[in-house]
Amino acid sequence: MKIEEGKFYKTADGRRVGPMYHLAGSHTGNEFSGLGATNHESVRGSLQVYNKDGSVYKATYTEYTDVLVSEWTEEVKPFVNLTDIEKGELLFKHHEGEVIEVKLFTVGLWLKTDKPVWDSRHAYRVKPTMLVTGNCEVGPDGKPDFTTWKEVDTQSN
pLDDT tens by residue, 42-74: 444 456 777 777 777 665 455 556 778 888 887
pLDDT of residue 26: 56
Based on the fold, state whether residues 32 and 58 are members of the same structural domain.
yes
- Total domain count, the chain: 2
Angle of CA points 150, 131, 43, to nearest 5°:
75
Q: Average of pLDDT values for 72-96?
A: 90
Based on the fold, state whether residues 35 and 62 are members of the same structural domain.
yes
Based on the fold, state whether residues 13 and 32 are members of the same structural domain.
yes
Q: Which residues contact 149 (CB under 8 A, 6 or more apart)?
A: 12, 67, 69, 134, 135, 136
Q: Which domain holds residue 114?
A: 79-126
pLDDT of residue 95: 95
Q: Are 11 and 37 in contact (CB under 8 A)?
A: yes
Q: Average of pLDDT values for 110-117?
A: 90
Based on the fold, state whether residues 46 and 28 are members of the same structural domain.
yes
The residues with which 10 forms a beta bridge, in sequence order, are: 16, 70
Q: Is residue 4 a part of any domain in this protein?
A: no
Q: Is residue 3 a part of any domain in this protein?
A: no
CA proximity to 10, closest of 76, 58, 59, 91: 76
Based on the fold, state whether residues 54 and 108 are members of the same structural domain.
no
| Percent with pLDDT over 90 in the chain | 19
Q: Are 19 and 33 in contact (CB under 8 A)?
A: no
User: What average pLDDT does the chain have?
Assistant: 76
Based on the fold, state whether residues 140 and 122 are members of the same structural domain.
no
